[in-house]
Amino acid sequence: MTATLIWIVVALVAIGLYLSWTAGRLDRLHARIDATRAALDAQLVRRASVTQELATSGVLDPAASIVLYEAAHAARQAEEEQREVAESELSQALRAVFAEPGQVEAVREAPGGESAAHELTETVRRVPMARRFHNDAVGAARRLREHRKVRWFRLAGHAPFPMAFEMDDEPPAALVERAA
């Protein structure tokens, strides 16, 4: 009887340790999601800021400046529910303005245009990477949260279900080709 009781206690302790380890892993994944979301937000804000600076610099023609400025402003001011749409529209505006390599060359030839074009190129390259890191972290947390043990023992606590950030982040081909 005593040996059976000891084995039951050992099994319960082992199960408790395993569940504790799983809860800790889930907590680390949620912390990783928060960190990658902050990095993604920083890259999106930087892209919108660089776009606004370029739009107001006088380097672009007036129509392109207005299109870029309005899209960047909308992306920076968007509420959380509309952020993905606003950021996608900024990506589309950037592709529309920089569809032709000639537009990129015109920006580079203007005073201060080389550094502005380089900074914009860097930001449009970093946004897809930041989004991919965030969505990978969200995917890992979702897969873990779908396990029965996590649901049955409510190991996620009150943490909201992680959501991926889906947006059109295709960079303008003329900017990326020139930099490569």
Q: What is the mean pLDDT of residues 10-20?
A: 94
Class of residue 124 by CB neighbours under 10 A (exposed 0-12, middle 13-18, buried 19+): buried
pLDDT band at 168 (very low <50, low <70, confident <90, very high): very high
pLDDT band at 150 (very low <50, low <70, confident <90, very high): very high
Number of CB atoms found within 10 A of residue 161's CB: 9
Q: What pLDDT sits at residue 10?
A: 94
Instruction: Using the predicted structure, report yes or no on whether residue 97 has a pLDDT greater than 70.
Output: yes
Mean pLDDT of the chain: 93
Q: What pLDDT sits at residue 35?
A: 98
Q: What pLDDT sits at residue 19?
A: 93
C-alpha dist (Å) from residue 132 to 33, 72, 136: 12, 21, 6
pLDDT digits (tens, 9 = 90+) for 26-56: 999 999 999 999 999 999 999 999 999 999 9
User: How far is the C-alpha of 94 from the C-alpha of 69, rounded, in Å?
Assistant: 10
Helix (H, G, I), strand (E, B) or coil at 57: coil
Instruction: Using the predicted structure, report yes or no on whether residue 128 has a pLDDT greater than 60.
Output: yes
Q: What pLDDT sits at residue 179?
A: 55
Which sign does the torsion angle of CA 80, 84, 88, 89 carry? negative
pLDDT band at 100 (very low <50, low <70, confident <90, very high): confident
Residues with Cβ < 8 Å from 74, sequence gap 6 or more? Answer: 86, 89, 90
Q: What pLDDT sits at residue 38?
A: 98
Instruction: Using the predicted structure, report yes or no on whether residue 129 has a pLDDT greater than 90.
Output: yes
- Say which amino acid occupies 171: P
Q: What pLDDT sits at residue 96?
A: 95
Instruction: Using the predicted structure, report yes or no on whether residue 66 has a pLDDT greater than 90.
Output: yes
Q: What pLDDT sits at residue 91?
A: 97
Class of residue 27 by CB neighbours under 10 A (exposed 0-12, middle 13-18, buried 19+): middle
Q: What pLDDT sits at residue 180?
A: 54
Q: What is the mean pLDDT of residues 52-64?
A: 91
